[in-house]
Structure 1
Amino acid sequence: MRALSSIPPLPPEHLEGDSVTLRFATLVPGDAALGFVPYYHFRILVGGTDVGHINLRVGDTEHVLRSAGHIGFEIAAPHRGHRYALSACRALASFARSLSERFILTCDPDNHPSRRTLELLGAAFIDEVSVPMHDPHYARGSRTKLRFEWTP
């Protein structure tokens, strides 16, 4: 994964998917002391309704590679079950490819919807790793993560 230059590339304002539109919201700076990398934050819209968000993290720290992954998404509870996260990942693919050839995606072993999303996306299972005790995911209760590699 390439590191962001001093002036990171901005994504298109909107990215279109088969059932979703991603609206670029902001570029969040990283926090090197915590191992947090900069990330692009997008809102996921379906027919103009905001149903969740997707983040694209740029950089390869222990936090990203073992716990958070390069892509994180959340769909609001009333909108789950429509594969909007999968559509959002696919909509993000063209911009993601402009930053790197491959991405590490993670999920908790018991998060079956996220795991299914990664499998349907075509991400290849790599392994299951322990979450470091100093990682924020550990504090939230995650002890292991399933890791996948995605080549958009």
Structure 2
Amino acid sequence: MKFIFLDFDVIKGEEIDLHLMKTVPGNKDKNWVPAYHFNISLSGLSKPIGKIDIRIGYNENLYYGGHIGYSVNEQYRGNHYAAKAVWLLRKVAHAHEMEKLFITCNPDNIASRKTCEYVGANLLEIVDVPKENEMYQRGEKEKCIYEWVCT
């Protein structure tokens, strides 16, 4: 069955908006699922203050890599913009009938761990990344696995 990207050009929030930058189809050979990539901007502005993406589907890679990845430019940190962007992505998750997402981070990434806790994600475990996983080969040996029920 062919995956169909839905129309999410701009997702508006109270303080921030998400602007779709690109969509990436899945790659069966690499076990990658389709993804949406957004810039985060302050509401009504187009200048990016960060990035966020959401991967659609479920597989073993996503348990370690997560469904959502984000970063906020340094001068905008401390305002919960990453968490607010995660909340806005609920629209995309719901449109693709996804109610439970994994968000992962390195154990020493305190800001990302706080973001996961702020959105109400539950820490399932801290795990060793399998040696055959691409993240392990990039030097990422451990991951905090959070589960976010985004209903």
Are residues 1:61 and 2:59 paired? yes
Are residues 1:9 and 2:2 paired? no
- The Cα shift of 1:137 comes to 1.5
Structure 2 counterpart SS, 1:8: coil
Backbone CA RMSD of aligned residues: 1.5
Give percent identity, aligned residues only. Answer: 33
Are residues 1:71 and 2:89 paired? no
Residue pair 1:11, 1:95 contacting (<8 A) in 2 also: no
Supply the distance in 1 between the matched residues of 2:145 and 2:3 (Cα, whole angstroms).
30
* Larger RCO, structure (CA 8 Å, separation 6 or more): 1
> Which residues of structure 1 form unaligned runs of 5+?
none
- The Cα shift of 1:81 comes to 2.1
**Residue 50 of structure 1 is aligned with which of 48, 51, 55?**
48
- Which residue pairs with 2:105 in the alignment? 107
Query: After superposition, what is the alpha-carbon deviation per residue over 1:3-55, rounded to whole angstroms, capped at 9, x for unaligned?
Result: xx514131321111232100112210122222221111111111332011111
Structure 2 counterpart SS, 1:9: coil
- Which residue pairs with 1:130 in the alignment? 128
Supply the distance in 1 between the matched residues of 2:70 and 2:38 (Cα, whole angstroms).
9
Per the normalisation by structure 1, the TM-score is: 0.88
Supply the distance in 2 between the matched residues of 1:19 and 1:140 (Cα, whole angstroms).
35
> Which residues of structure 2 form unaligned runs of 5+?
none
Aligned length: 147
Residue pair 1:128, 1:146 contacting (<8 A) in 2 also: yes
